[in-house]
Amino acid sequence: MTSPSSSAQFDYAPLLPAGLPAPAARWTGLAKYSFVGGNNDPDGVPVEYLADAVNAVLRREGKALATYNLAHGPQGYLPLREFLVKKLKRDAGMACTPDDIMIVSGSLQGLDLVNHTLLARGDTVLIEKESYQGSINRLQRLGVNMIGIPLDDGGMRIDAVANALAELKQKGITPKYIYTIPTVQNPTATIMPEQRRTELLKLSEQHGVPIFEDDCYADLTWNGKRPPALYAMSKTSNVIHLGSFSKSIAPALRVGFLVAPWAMMSRMLALKTDAGSGALEQMVLAEFCAPHFETHVPRLTKGLRAKLDTLMESLNEQFGTSAEFEEPAGGIFLWVKLPDNVDTMKLYQAALASGVAINPGVEWSVDKPYSGSRLRLCFASPSHDQIREGVAVLAEVCRKEFGVPARSANVEKRAKG
């Protein structure tokens, strides 16, 4: 008898349908200096409080795990939705009820539900020129036409939105939605002012195009303040709101939420065929957040702000004026511009070989040439020492590959506001 290890392997390739993403690489662990992804500060995870919440809620309600959705229905654990009603009212000015909220398995499932409800191949959407990689990739795979809207220091430019909508109208095209991250934008960390939000809502109403508001980073402003959510400012229910606990508590919990009018909610619920998002995570979050969320977030952002300072100081020291950036008002990312001769995709590959992981700008842009010399650095996960050491290694790799920064760059320190 031939052993399984020595027999020919079954060939699945002829059975795979067209259009699948490229095969995934095997996981080899995080880089020594990891500035990638939306990972958060390990020291900012409220482990002790979460442990207490696990014990308390399991002892009180653990038997409910025997029933799908804890017998709270497909929209998720009711106490968590009730907490969100209060939080969204307090922080974002949103008036909603538990029935307006659906708990999802991270914001990525929320993106999928909105896209699969509204989009078909060949449709058009408006999206910020630099935006969340997960959103861009999903739209590409669906065969959707993305119109990239440029940003400035106030986020998505309204004049560019107006021009794009007018041009599409002349062609007989109505976009399916306008996707925006208005509060601590990813990757640029801009915050859209309230007046600009009013103008965006007016354009949305005039052209009959809803707004898809990704608000996943909005809790992480340094001063704890933010403009009202677009959802809160809408008078016509033309906004779908997406949020998450990944940045405010922990990404590995995989808990996000959608807020939408019932006309959309009912259709998305019909597509949420996973028999419910993780119940234990929802129970623990509800137990923890009700008493602790308001005091936890300022502690988290204080630590994140300190790491941002370390990153900016390190870039100033190692790159000098070769690295251009604007100081973000919150979040976990810094969007950096290097000289035009630096290809950050090639830099990413060379840096990874030296133990430094970065996100090249082309992965976060619908305009690849525009973002070729840009990179996104996540400063939340590495320690202060790892930030300093990692930036020093990155500068050495960049100098070797592109001659940037020059050897004298470390004396060209400057404060970039």
- Digit-coded pLDDT (tens) for 137-171: 999 999 999 999 999 999 999 999 999 999 999 99
Q: d(Cα 163, Cα 142) in Å, to the nearest integer?
A: 25
pLDDT at 257 over 60: yes
Q: How confident is the model at residue 123 (pLDDT cuts 50, 70, 90)?
A: very high
The architecture of the domain spanning 28-45+296-411 is: Alpha-Beta Complex (3.90)
pLDDT at 2 over 60: no
Q: What is the per-residue pLDDT for 412?
A: 47
- Decide which of 369 and 15 is more confident: 15
Residue 227 contacts residue 193 (beta carbons within 8 Å): yes
Question: What's this model's pTM, rounded to 2 decimal places?
Answer: 0.94
Query: Regarding beta strands 374-378 and 333-337, do their DSSP bridges make them parallel or antiparallel, or are they unpaired?
Result: antiparallel
CATH for the stretch 47-292: 3.40.640.10
Q: What is the per-residue pLDDT for 3?
A: 52
Q: d(Cα 279, Cα 69) in Å, to the nearest integer?
A: 6
Q: What is the per-residue pLDDT for 415?
A: 39
Q: Mean pLDDT, the chain, as a whole number? A: 94
Q: What is the per-residue pLDDT for 263?
A: 95
Q: d(Cα 127, Cα 150) in Å, to the nearest integer?
A: 9
Query: Regarding beta strands 151-152 and 155-156, do their DSSP bridges make them parallel or antiparallel, or are they unpaired?
Result: antiparallel
Strands (E), 245-354: 256-259, 333-337
Domain ranges of the chain: 28-45+296-411, 47-292
